[in-house]
Structure 1
Amino acid sequence: MRRVALVLFASLLLIPSIVTAQEIISLQLTVDPTGYVRVDELVALDNYSVINSIPLLSDKIDALTVLDENGEPLFYNINGTSLEIVGNATLANITYYTASITSKSGEVWTVSLTSDVPVKIVLPHGAIIIDLSDVPVEITDEYLVMPPGNISVSYILPPPTETETSTSTLTSTSTLSSTQTTPESQPSTSPTTTAGASESLSGSFTTSGKGGSSGLVWVGILIVLVAVAVGALWYFKGKTGGNENSDDTTNIAQKISREDLEKKLNSMNLNDEEKKALLYIYDRGGRARQSDVRNELGIPKTTAWRMFQRLEKQGLVRVYKKGRENWVELTI
């Protein structure tokens, strides 16, 4: 009897694992102005497992697609907030949409989730960040990368223009029509294969009308011209970089004296740290590294980042990237 038990135990060790949680390589969230979020996830699969289990950000998702490294659809099954992938692929490209990780209170939108990996978040155009759960790993005008953990990003959107309002109405009508003609999703109790269902929701992000292709061509030409102009500006600016600080000092001093600047700052609703930061930048010729200002005031990175966001919103400074560092320039 003991010999039979040993044989059974050895046999179980030889059988590959049935369900295995896999490694998430990258995770990106693209947020629509309506609060809908597109989730793009790249996952490394275990070839020795019969079923690979990947956690989803929500149990309420739409337009799920699961493709292997060659763009071929994979069989899958949804089990609550877990995606169970069947097959022997190496990678899985997972895409779906959800509105469960965003919330709105008044004018403030908040994206909140928990992740074991850094998350790249693309906010709607023109979004103004007002609160963060942690200091971003990376931040640009187009996106920010948050470190792993409990992630929360709060932002507000500028009032829509008439053109944006009409476009949004057209998008909503198009999406509603598409939803009414789409059959109900099949039960998730049996493995399913994806068939490019993400196209059904792509209309909620973009709309096109007559002359759309021509407009895109002109936009592309304009972007190229602007890029060339900016590149030329930086090139010639670099040629005269040796006198940059002295020229800036002269220019800022010609615009406003330090005494007048202090009077202006005292008349505004600014705290002491903000006033000291602006005067420090003035004394450095009107621009300074954000890290230098932070070290001078002795404040944490998050506090400094939020302070410059407020000052930039008030039109007092301009924050920009130079090399690998953030710089702050007076715009008074």
Structure 2
Amino acid sequence: MDSYRRWSLIFLFLVPTLLLSASAQQPLVFVTILDSGLARVDYLIPAAGNVSLTVPLIGEPDASYLILVQDEEGMPLAYEINETLGVIEVACLNASEVRISYYTQTLTFKKGKIWAVNITSPYCVKLTLPPNSTVIYFSAVPEEVSVEGDSLSLVFSPGTILVKYIFTYLAPPPEEKPSAPPPGGEGGAEANVTEREAPQAYNATQAANVTAGEEETPRPSGLPSTHLMLLALAAALIAAVIAAARLLRRGPLPYHALELSEEEVEILEALRRMGGGAFQSELQRVLNMPTTSLWRRLRRLREKGLVVIEKRGGRNYVKLA
């Protein structure tokens, strides 16, 4: 009977220890989303005595950034990426833990003001969103939610995850302008109270006074007002016809009117020289521009309706709108 109790106590002490050690050895993936939509992916995978590991890639690593594959002491490990299978093969050697880090642009996409993150992972994922972002949808209920600084972090079980979020910025408080000293008498006091309680009505009254003042400006003598309106309408129609003719001749775009940066103008001119469309990688080689900078400017041009970005064979194809 004593031996039975002894083994029971040993079992009760060992089971929680084994469970904790097993949970501590589970692979974990950290995905951190930046403001621009670029994502950093970090793996922590126990080697468990294996000579090599085959790890599924989450997103396509961006070739513009380094891929770090290290052991628990920060020593580099040999690796090879199989793009066909979408995996990375790592030689573990004597490592007890494998750490993989890279950047990718294929996990996020934007539609209007809504950003979305789509992740498929065989491991648990800790997703950290950009600062000042608010989640409006997630396809799976997170196991854990925490706030780190201004960023929201969500922990999900293995599987496919879709999270949508928007940026929310607090508008600065309006500046308070000192009001003019009220005139003497009861009427002045009432006007001051009305101004403080209903600033919108006061502003509307000011606008009405300004408008009335503009209408009272004497018109120059000469043609009647009806003739002046007809002349203005004719001038507007002529300007519209001239603008349409310029567009039909495919002349250069009035970049100064669109408030484009020099880099955005270079992108549009490069697309014109390349026949109106090219893959993003081809544009990068021609412009010698970092991938992240190019992608950020392409998104701006797409939001302004100047370019269209399509997926062709898993690659971004950019063409003039």
Q: Is TM (by shorter chain) over 0.5?
A: no
TM range (shorter): 0.3 to 0.5
TM-score (norm 2): 0.41
Which structure has the bigger radius of gyration?
A: 2
